Structure 1
């Protein structure tokens, strides 16, 4: 499966809309976890795998390749790190994380 990128068909959409490519990428198994773990700074492959607990090396390699192709992650001397674009994405998701906590609370209260 190809890396979802704006302008290309993605899972669930043939329109090539950037938001659909982003949702396809972020919805892939382990992608969000890898991005989350990289928020705290660079990590070697082994440290990142340990932080994710349970991701296979082959799946992690595939996801890191997709994240590098998407310009969200890069591999530097000290390990894998979020690019400025990846860091901006994670900060942009903060309000959505807040909303999801509110949603969970409402669901816990029974609506």
Structure 2
């Protein structure tokens, strides 16, 4: 599977983002990803594991070194999203 296909799948990047600070179990991931179904979670965990991005641990799932390197690529996107959200908060509400 091509990386863009994998990361473009619904919830894949969110799961990786939640794992950035350390391992999490499936229940913790479900709690952090409101709206994520357990079936989709387990499918994404299988795909990410099969592609060497995450690995199962005693504490749940954790990023592999390859997966952790993706976090460096996502930081600028996170910084942009924070700036965008602040700009949205600063905008006057539009009349409907």
TM-score (norm 1): 0.68
CA distance in 1, matches of 2:81, 2:20: 19
4+ runs deviating over 2 angstroms? 92-102
Partner of 2:62: 81
Q: Which residue of 53, 65, 76 corresponds with 1:95?
A: 76
Q: What is the total number of aligned residue pairs between the two structures?
A: 88
> Which gives a bigger RCO, structure 1 or 2 (Cα 8 Å, sep 6+)?
2
| TM-score normalised to structure 2 length | 0.78
Richer in helix (by share): 2
Structure 2: unaligned runs, 5 residues or longer: 89-96
Unaligned runs of 5+ in 1: 5-20
